[in-house]
Amino acid sequence: MKDPKDLRSARWFAPDDLRSFGHRSRMMQLGYSEEDFRDKPVIGVLSTWSELNTCHSHFPERVKDVKRGVAQAGGFAVEMPALSVDESFTKPTSMLYRNMLAMETEEMIRSHPLDGVVLMGGCDKTTPGLVMGAISAGVPMIYLPAGPMLRGNFAGKVLGSGSDAWKYWDERRAGNISDEEWLGVQGGIARSAGTCMTMGTAATMMGIAEAMGLTLPGASSIPAVDSNHVRMAADCGRRIVGMVWDDLTPDRIVTDAACRNAATVAMATGCSTNAVVHIIAMARRAGVRLTLDDLDALGRTTPLIANVRPSGEGYLMEDFYYAGGLRALMMQISERLDTSVMTVTGKTLADNLEGAEVYNDDVIRPLSNPVYHEGSLAVLRGNLCPDGAIIKPAACNPKYYVHEGPALVFDSYPEMKAAVDDEDLDITPDHVMVLRNAGPLGGPGMPEWGMLPIPKALLKQGHRDMLRISDARMSGTSYGACVLHVAPESYVGGPLALLKTGDTVRLDLPNRRLDMLVDAAELETRRAAWKQPEPRFERGWGWMYSRHVTQADQGCDFDFLQSDFGRMPGEPDI
């Protein structure tokens, strides 16, 4: 156990010198006595709250609960706000700011007298942003997930975040829904604090944080407004103090095995496609190289057992919690996990899973009756995506698994939007819609445009799916035959930039291929004629972002924030 004089915060508060006098007198300015903070672990409660982050509206209350726990355990807690990165309002896309949150988290920890942190996030990018930054900062940390909101409800029907918005919107565009019904859906689809309650990016990433060993057992599944969530917040406060005394730093938790566990669990939950970029980026902060090929291999062998929308039928995160939550799911697949890994509890994953039970085996399925025999994601390669692309087989109509059709290519979102709304658009269900210039640099920030809307012309004929390809991401609550994350992206000259309307595109999912059937000589001619688009930013965050963001297969972190940055040539790769 650590001696109080070895606390990091003691560097600020202990010495008998003028600077420390200043630090102590400023604490007294806040109304604290020396007994409050001297020789105690100082815990930063990093809260990503804002009045525009609808998913974190319970955080001001939960901060108090965390602080209560910290005080009980003999620590001293300070709340520190961190960039809120809300998913609903942040434009052009919250992904543009994930790395900003990561940098802020890292530097805020580094520059302040903190011995440990409780990270409070949940809305999509906040989980990876906070975790990436805290891994790099290296002080003991514990993640408190916001938890999902309650199920949506309208006219006796259960509504799921995202998924049902898309579904009802398609029906509205097809002319099947009245204004009044549409207003009812609007008021019923999000009706409490908490994150989206389908297995979207938020639920996926909170689950990944738990599977990595970074939350207290079961934390990621508790609905935001459940009083169990209040108690979990206080537990986090109590536990982080012990972690500081034990010097249980993130490098002891986020190991290669922990990252693989997290990826396996993600596959079994029917994870959001966004998990790919985030988990690669998180792992790299810990010096763990997790590749698209690793994820594909796990995807091929891990059955999807969480029967939660959008991959599963009917159920939502609230049901998942009542069915036993993530601990029960991990118990079901424990033979595929390395349960000897250390976690924030100071115990192994195996210890944390003890006693976990499935209470509803239609929601959390046994391995003998999975929702889908393989995992959630597949990685494609081919002459359209030499560095990879992602598809979510469980969320698309199997008739597209092997498909060949003519490309209809759009260079921008507005151009694509105008076309899909054109009732006379010349298009067949066999067409392959393509959107480019929507990647990490092209978007910018790789917006969630990848579930391209089905053209009105096809909707009216009753079609609800078609093959779509882009270098964008898609929302974790989206579905359909959408190939995403094409790398390298078209904006930097990836082969997607060379595709033309009318070219034949071929998807062969069983063989993990995505190709354009255009001969090499013709592609060379097109490459010679290709011109790099104008830079999108001349100043500010966007300027820095565009110079340093990595491609989707690398996790879209900044090159200079990865753990291997600055290594001499010839040194081993991370």
88 binds, among ligand FES, Mg ion, none (CB under 5 to 8 A by kind): ligand FES
d(CA 345, CA 384): 45
Answer whether 275's CB lies under 8 Å from 553's CB.
no
Contact mark string toward Mg ion, 171..200, x via CB under 5 A? -----------------------------x
Q: Which is nearer to Mg ion, 195 or 339 (CB)?
A: 195
Q: In this structure, what token pair is assigned to residue 157? A: 């029907």
Cis peptide before 310 (omega within 30 of 0): yes
Among 10, 202, 266, 432, binds ligand FES (CB under 6 A): 202
Say how many residues make up the chain. Answer: 574
Stretch that binds ligand FES, among 193-201, 215-223, 249-257, 322-330 (CB under 6 A): 193-201
- Nearest approach in angstroms of CB 272 to Mg ion is 7
What end-to-end distance do the CA atoms of the chain give, in Å? 31
Q: Which is nearer to ligand FES, 148 or 237 (CB)?
A: 148
Among 72, 88, 369, 412, binds ligand FES (CB under 6 A): 88
Structure-token match 């990685």, residue found? 379
Between the CA of residue 295 and those of 11, 74, 257, 401, what are the distances in Å? 42, 42, 13, 19
Beta carbons within 10 angstroms of residue 183's beta carbon: 11
475 binds, among ligand FES, Mg ion, none (CB under 5 to 8 A by kind): Mg ion
Contact mark string toward Mg ion, 295..334, x via CB under 5 A? ----------------------------------------
275 is a contact residue toward ligand FES (CB under 6 A): no
Among 12, 57, 85, 87, binds ligand FES (CB under 6 A): 87
Among 201, 215, 264, 302, binds Mg ion (CB under 5 A): 201
Q: Which is nearer to ligand FES, 319 or 448 (CB)?
A: 448
Among 124, 164, 296, 319, binds Mg ion (CB under 5 A): 124
Among 70, 77, 196, 434, binds ligand FES (CB under 6 A): 196
Kindly give, in sequence order, each residue whose CB lies less than 8 Å from that of residue 389, ignoring residues fewer than 6 positions away.
379, 380, 381, 469, 483, 484, 485, 486, 487, 514
Please count the CA atoms within 13 angstroms of the CA of 541 that sit on its side-chain side: 12
Which amino acid belongs to residue 516? Answer: M
d(CA 270, CA 134): 26
Please count the CA atoms within 13 angstroms of the CA of 130 that sit on its side-chain side: 34
Contact mark string toward ligand FES, 314..333, x via CB under 6 A? --------------------
- Nearest approach in angstroms of CB 58 to ligand FES is 13
Number of residues that bind Mg ion (CB under 5 A): 5
Answer whether 188's CB lies under 8 Å from 153's CB.
yes
d(CA 83, CA 181): 36
d(CA 332, CA 157): 30
Among 475, 490, 550, 554, binds Mg ion (CB under 5 A): 475
Among 105, 195, 470, 490, binds ligand FES (CB under 6 A): 195
Structure-token match 């609960």, residue found? 65
296 binds, among ligand FES, Mg ion, none (CB under 5 to 8 A by kind): none
Using CB under 5 A as the binding rule, the residues of this chain from 67 to 106 that contact Mg ion are 87
- Reduced to 3 states (helix: H, G, I; strand: E, B; else coil), residue 215 is coil
**What does DSSP assign to residue 308?**
B
Between the CA of residue 454 and those of 174, 433, 459, what are the distances in Å? 11, 9, 6
Binding residues for ligand FES (CB under 6 A): 55, 87-88, 123-124, 161, 195-196, 200, 202
